[in-house]
Amino acid sequence: MKQISLLYHDVVRGHASASGFPGADADIYKLEEANFSAHLSQIAKLGEGRVQLLKKSAEFQAQPIPILFTFDDGGVSAHEPTASLLEARGWRGHFYIVTERVGQPGFLSADQIRDLHRRGHHIGSHSHSHPAGFSTLTWEKMLHEWKESRRILGEILGEPAWSASVPGGFYSREVARAAHEAGYTILFNSEPTAVVSQMGRLTILGRYGIQRQTSPELAQSLARADFFPRAAQSFTWNAKKPLKKIGGKLWLSFRRWFFKKSN
């Protein structure tokens, strides 16, 4: 079974700092509204019925390969304009919330999260505090991050959250095991793969990352499951893996320094 999940963050109108986490390293993932709208237009050309919403059973049609839109962090732009742009095409998205940030400037409020849920979008966890180097945390801290986020989302939505996405791309089997222990049944990481894997009752899905400079044509190509753009992302991702594993938080510090210097 395969699926194509696209990993977005914020969709902004001129000021990147208005939604989501601040800083140059976060801004590279924030798309201007016009660019995001162009992404949707290109992906719509792939035909009707391709864009789908998660089911708790994680069952997907075999062909054509389904496309899922996911959005990390819970920035306030999820409510407007992102959700409205998706809805205009009859689509719904998956919004992953950093629960410690709910109601803070630049992030969704509890009422906005409930409204997204009411409108048919999927709400899941992106951890409680979005800690740096999630896979480097102790087991107890990992479990707390998943459980606390699930508890808060349950209070907001009035029903248990059952899906989550790993913050910062720091994924490991231990991260998945902690999510499973916390009660989630579906976990997205940032591994650029279309393959769906299983760990006990937990279904694990990869995602293809979208950045500010990603063209509408490239987004369409990824959504179409074209080989070369997916292979390029996979190559780059796997080249960085040893650095992230060895360097941990040092890698994050270097990354922040690099993007600050580049801007």
- The DSSP annotation for 121-137 comes to -EEEE--SS--TTGGGS
Q: Which of 156, 186, 193, 180 is nearest to 74 (CA)?
A: 156
- pTM for this one? 0.92
pLDDT at 257: 56
Q: How far apart are CA 43 and CA 39, in angstroms?
A: 6
Chain mean pLDDT for the chain: 92
Q: Is the pLDDT of residue 263 over 60?
A: no
Q: What is the mean pLDDT of residues 198-226?
A: 97
Q: Which two tokens stand for residue 42?
A: 């290109």
Q: Is the pLDDT of residue 181 over 70?
A: yes
Q: Which of 54, 52, 122, 124 is nearest to 89 (CA)?
A: 52
Q: What is the mean pLDDT of residues 190-203?
A: 95
Q: Is the pLDDT of residue 261 over 60?
A: no
Q: Which two tokens stand for residue 64?
A: 């054509």
Write out the H or E segment, with its range, that includes residue 85.
helix 82-87
Q: How many CB atoms within 10 Å of residue 191?
A: 20
Domain residue limits at 96: 4-262
Cβ distance 125 to 101 under 8 Å?
no
**What's the DSSP call for residue 166?**
-
CATH value at residue 201: 3.20.20.370
pLDDT at 149: 99
Q: Each residue of 86-117: pLDDT tens digit?
A: 999 999 999 999 999 999 999 999 999 999 99
Q: How far apart are CA 221 and CA 228, in angstroms?
A: 9
C-alpha torsion angle, residues 158, 164, 167, 173 (rounded to 10): 140
pLDDT at 246: 62
| Count of H-run helices and E-run strands, the chain | 9, 11
Name the domain count of the chain: 1
Please report, rounded to a whole number, the percentage of residues in the chain having pLDDT higher than 90. Answer: 82
Between residues 70 and 239, the one the model is more confident about: 70
Cβ distance 95 to 233 under 8 Å?
no
- Position 57 confidence tier, pLDDT thresholds 50, 70, 90: confident
pLDDT at 56: 83
- Position 245 confidence tier, pLDDT thresholds 50, 70, 90: low
